[in-house]
Chains A and B, each alone.
Chain A
Amino acid sequence: EDKVVQSPLSLVVHEGDTVTLNCSYEVTNFRSLLWYKQEKKAPTFLFMLTSSGIEKKSGRLSSILDKKELFSILNITATQTGDSAIYLCAVARRDDKIIFGKGTRLHILP
């Protein structure tokens, strides 16, 4: 059975800290790995990763995929209170199904 496992499930840090969120997967017919940020309502897209070892960056956020070890990490540097959210990892299969992890709830203390 396909699964996507995120860790930790929740994390509390102080503003300015750097955090690393983890996502491991066991999914047949892997196509891509996706990261989303969910604040109060709908998830918003952060990154799509398809190739190992290529870092994607957007401001203070970055992500990388390891297709050999079947995991991805999402890094957030110099965290701000606005980074408080649930971060979701998902894997898209070649048959178009998408499997989500349970998410990591991140809380940034001022």
Chain B
Amino acid sequence: NAGVTQTPKFRVLKTGQSMTLLCAQDMNHEYMYWYRQDPGMGLRLIHYSVGEGTTAKGEVPDGYNVSRLKKQNFLLGLESAAPSQTSVYFCASSYWARSTDTQYFGPGTRLTVL
């Protein structure tokens, strides 16, 4: 099992460009999340999904869109990148159950917006 994978690993964009980050998991998890991590800020939830075809806003959703067309994939889109979106982006997934909230994280995508 690959677990949670993210593509790309690194990307440099110019202000105004668009891009899509792909998260894939092979654990049949219902829940998937997108976070950003900035120095001294911990992890902040951007959007999340509780199942195929569903999405919901997290703490910092502005400037991002997401889609969950297939259960195993969760896409994060930036329509018009801004320097404030320079960050490390982590995807995570979890199997919803009353007994566990364990999240499995992908390796991260380092995005720089010039």
Residues of A within 8 A of B (CB): 6, 9, 31-32, 34, 41-45, 48, 88, 90, 92, 96-103
Contact = CB atoms under 8 A, between A and B. Distances in A.
A100 B42 contact: yes
Contacts of A99: 45, 59
A103 B42 contact: yes
A22 to B, nearest CB: 15
Contacts of B103: 34, 43, 45, 98
- Dominant SS among interface residues on chain A: strand
Contact of B100 (A48, A96, A100, A102): A48
B107 A41 contact: yes
Contacts of A45: 102-104
Q: Which 3 pairs, one residue from A and one from B, show the smallest C-beta to C-beta distance?
A: A42-B105, A102-B42, A100-B43
Given A42-B108, A96-B31, A97-B58, A48 B42 contact: no
Given A31-B101, A32-B101, A48-B100, A42 B45 contact: no
Interface of B: 31, 33, 35, 40-45, 48, 50, 56, 58-59, 90, 96, 100-108
A104 to B, nearest CB: 10
Given A34-B101, A44-B105, A45-B103, 20 more contacts: A34-B102, A41-B108, A43-B103, A45-B104, A48-B101, A48-B102, A90-B43, A96-B31, A97-B48, A97-B59, A98-B33, A98-B45, A98-B103, A99-B45, A99-B59, A100-B42, A100-B43, A100-B45, A101-B42, A103-B42
